[in-house]
Amino acid sequence: MNTPQIHSSNKGPLSGVRILDMATVIAGPFAATLCADLGAEVTKLELPASNDPLRTFAPMKDHHSLYWKVTNRGKQGITLDVRKPKGREIFLRMLPLFDVLVENFRTGTLDQWGLDIKTLHQANPQLIILRLTGFGQTGPYARRPGFARIFEAMSGFTNLTGMAEGPPQHMNYPLGDVVSGLFGAFSIAAALVESSQSKNRVGREIDLSATEAMMRLLDPLAAEYEQLNYIRARTGSRATYTAPSNIYKTSDDVWISVVGSSEPIFKRFCSAMGVDELANNSKFSNNQSRLKNLDELDQIISNWCSSQTFEHLAVILNKNEVPFTKVYGIDDVLNDPHFKERKAIIRLPDEDLGSIPAPCIVPRFSGVAEYIPHSGSKTGAHNISFYSELGLSNEEISQLKADKVI
């Protein structure tokens, strides 16, 4: 059996690691993409019908999903219907070529297709399998479908978002997916370290619950409830654990985020506003006092900000070294001189649109040359090269296509 080659100039720290990504939508694929960014050779496996929902996510450009192109960057694309006997046979034949398998089907789905954990590890005893689901492989909710907004709401995160007097709010972005994807990439890297250090390498199943990943971000909430009977809730943009920390509007209608929570910073903030005496006022002299008098403090700051143009306010706050920023839209991100100098936004080569902008590879490793991944490929774009190198003849590949196995 030949070993399909993925030709890549990415020499990042995960160079040489081979990942088979059969996940759909965002969470699992994002985990694999983060690994691809750092040098892993990732093969994206789709069903022949190209029914991954991410390919239909808006907005579209000339019938092309921009979301798909950036989320699945740097991968080669193949198709295979693992639900069919021949597809399952080829899939198990492929597994020894890979170090990692990423899947995010509803718990039990692969078992129903004859691809249970025992079968997968019989095909490749050293295989690391990331199973990213909404609620994990066990428990009463294990079979429930999962989506980002469900993870966010059930973790307690959504309860923190919105105005105090209004309903909980979701942000216009699937945060729960990308957070669980980050945990997925971290988990893969951890398992690879373990594998590299082990004399007797064995396969590892990683049971990653996206809801638990969101909960892990909310470190103090359980302790606050148990020890203080306190349920943290939404307060708009105002922080209730440190102050001042909020969003304010300038006289020319620019929204800014300001943080003045440490004592030295708060003193400098008071100087910037021309009210040095405020820092010595017993109501505002330390964080706990400021938290007890947040309404009054926020009104003072809001009044000052609303009397300044953003340009003038920025000069004063920068001079006094007060942490602040305009609340950026993506247009601001693209035009910011700091991000431009660091090439924080790169351009992915794309066969349909020429090139498209996307975030750079994060983080940056010394001694690793700059690498620009290509955008997500078309369905089955690398079928012929992959399956030929796997050892299938042109006739076999043609027959698999005719039988809708690939």
The amino acid at 1:
M
Q: Which two tokens stand for residue 112?
A: 């129903």
Find the DSSP H helices in 229-293: 263-273, 287-292
Q: What is the C-alpha radius of gyration for the chain, rounded to an integer number of angstroms?
A: 25
pLDDT digit string, tens, across residues 205-234: 999 999 999 999 999 999 999 999 999 999
**pLDDT at residue 2 is higher than 50:** no
Distances (CA, A) of 282 to 13, 15, 270: 53, 57, 14
Residue 8's pLDDT is 60
**3-state secondary structure at position 53:** helix
Report, as an integer, the average pLDDT of 32-52: 95
Please identify every residue annotated as catalytic: 177
The dihedral sign for the CA sequence 384, 390, 396, 399: negative
Say if strands 255-259 and 245-249 run parallel, antiparallel, or are unpaired: antiparallel
Distance between CA atoms of 91 and 229, rounded to whole angstroms?
52
Residue 202's pLDDT is 83
pLDDT digit string, tens, across residues 18-28: 999 999 999 99
**Beta bridge mates, 259:** 245
- The CATH superfamily assigned to 245-328 is formyl-coa transferase, domain 3 (3.30.1540.10)
Q: Which two tokens stand for residue 76?
A: 């080669």
CA nearest to 95, candidates 30, 184, 18, 192: 18
DSSP class of residue 277 equals G
pLDDT digit string, tens, across residues 150-193: 999 999 999 999 999 999 999 999 999 999 999 999 999 999 99
Q: Which CATH architecture has domain 18-217+344-402?
A: 3-Layer(aba) Sandwich (3.40)
**pLDDT at residue 354 is higher than 80:** yes
Residue 123's pLDDT is 97
Q: How many CB atoms lie within 10 A of CB 308?
A: 21
Q: How confident is the model at residue 198 (pLDDT cuts 50, 70, 90)?
A: confident
CA nearest to 80, candidates 43, 41, 109: 43
**What residues does each domain of the chain span?**
18-217+344-402, 245-328
Per the CB < 8 A criterion, the answer to whether 269 and 320 are in contact is yes
**pLDDT at residue 4 is higher than 50:** no
